Amino acid sequence: MQTKEFWAGVKAELPLLIGVFPFGLIYGVLAMGAGLSTTQAQVMSSIVFAGSSQFIATQLIGAGAPATILIMTIAIVNLRHALYSASLAPYMKKLSPVWKGILAYLLTDEAYAVSITHYERGVDFQFKHWFFLGAGLGLWTTWQVSTAVGIFLGAVVPPGWSLDFTLALTFIALVVPRLEDSPSLAAALSAGVTAVAAFNLPYKLGILVSAFVGIVVGLGLETRKTISGQKGAPARK
Amino acid sequence: MKIWLIMVCGGLFTYATRLSFIVLLGKMEIPVWLQRSLRFVPPAVLSAIIFPELLLHTGRLDISFYNGRLVAGLLAILVAWRTRNTLLTILVGMVTLLVLQGIFKF
């Protein structure tokens, strides 16, 4: 039963891995471009193990930002995992601390996506943590291997190819499809404009300031929408 | 040395976030304002990276056809919006930039 659940987890994760591989590859290339050593680039993929934050870290390291700013930026970019943690927690209540510790380490966007679906679907939770383990390890292995390949590519591709631009392009691919409502669109635009205006702020503070502006604008707009929705009848979303 | 420090601290913060409610469940809940804010973190942070990459050229605002990254980026935004295809978005953006670089030699 355990092995069956484990491999079901790996299998459910497979389609997502096809998308993850190029990201790991690009991360490896960017890390080399930012001046990380081969070891540092590879180890970051297992210590931090979170794509977007690793991408941003390479950019900030390349720009010579101070450690405090980098650590804060990584922490904020990864705050969303608290949501996943809260959402999976009820299913993991009875697990041992070791299991909780391991599964928390493997809790990424992609592992969460397939595991929560699996948890919500079933009634028998006895072995479902094995499914999570399979999905998580599948992703972990792919991330490490693709990082390694990217590090190798980063060392051989000439700088004239402008591969650093893949960072902006990757983020465009991630963010544009998510801008489905006006509060998130406003959050994106206001953060972007702020980032351009705040580009010359010392210590590369720009990203943190812009993120803050974007979040406040998004929240404000969402609140206003909710309030005006309550006033006018019928309420629309 | 500095990079190792960043990785270890950044990694610890990330791990603590992942572990947080798995351990704290029942003792603490996510405050509503935080839960609502988290939705805006990805669009805000990612755009804060994208905009300067497209609009600034060596630290200066450059809104012109000769800014290859801007043209390629706008095209990529269009592709991402219409197709939602990650690889296609990256590919179109990269090819456009390289072609423009070949033409204008910047």
**Mean pLDDT, consecutive 10-residue segments, chain A of 237 residues?**
92 86 92 94 97 92 93 92 88 92 95 88 82 97 97 85 86 90 96 94 85 95 82 47
User: What is the ipTM, given to two decimal places?
Assistant: 0.89
Element (H, E) at A160: none
The residue type at A169: L
State whether B46 and B18 are in the same domain. no
The residue type at A95: L
pLDDT above 70 covers what percent of chain A? 96
State whether B70 and B25 are in the same domain. no
Q: How far apart are the first and last CA of chain A?
A: 44
A23-76: per-residue pLDDT in tens?
899 999 999 999 999 999 999 999 999 988 999 999 999 989 999 999 999 999
Q: Which pLDDT score, from 0 to 100, does residue A158 have?
A: 79
State whether B54 and B24 are in the same domain. no
Q: Find tokens 């309550």 and name the residue.
A: A230
Per the structure, the count of domains in chain B is 2
Q: Which pLDDT score, from 0 to 100, does residue A235 have?
A: 44
State whether B17 and B55 are in the same domain. no
Q: How many CB pairs under 8 A join A and B?
A: 255
Contact call for A80 and B45, based on CB within 8 A = no
State whether B84 and B45 are in the same domain. yes
State whether B42 and B25 are in the same domain. no
Contact call for A214 and B47, based on CB within 8 A = yes
State whether B51 and B13 are in the same domain. no
- Which chain B residue is nearest to residue A205, measuring alpha carbons? B48
Quick check: A197 and A204 in contact, CB under 8 A? no
State whether B48 and B94 are in the same domain. yes
B54-103: per-residue pLDDT in tens?
999 888 899 998 899 999 999 999 999 999 998 899 999 999 999 998 88
Q: Which pLDDT score, from 0 to 100, does residue A1 have?
A: 84
Q: Which pLDDT score, from 0 to 100, does residue A129 have?
A: 94
B90–chain A Cβ distance below 8 A for any pair:
yes
Give the start-to-end residue ranges of the domains of chain A. 2-161, 179-231
- Looking at beta carbons, which residues of chain B come within 8 Å of A26? 90
Both tokens of A9, joined, read 């987890």
The mean pLDDT of B41-47, rounded to a whole number, is 90
Interface of A with B in 134-173 (CB under 8 A): 161-162, 165-173
Cα Rg, chain B, nearest whole Å: 20
State whether B19 and B62 are in the same domain. no
State whether B12 and B46 are in the same domain. no
Domain extent, residue B25, equals 1-30
- For residue A193, give the nearest of B15, B76, B54, B12 by alpha carbon: B54
State whether B46 and B70 are in the same domain. yes
Q: Which pLDDT score, from 0 to 100, does residue A236 have?
A: 45
Q: Which pLDDT score, from 0 to 100, does residue A174 have?
A: 86
- Which chain A residue is nearest to residue B52, measuring alpha carbons? A196
- Looking at beta carbons, which residues of chain B come within 8 Å of A105? 15, 18
State whether B21 and B52 are in the same domain. no
Among the partner residues A166, A194, A211, nearest to B94 by beta-carbon distance: A166
The pLDDT-based confidence of B25 (bands split at 50, 70, 90) is confident
Quick check: B25 and A93 in contact, CB under 8 A? yes
What is the value of pTM for the model shown? Answer: 0.81
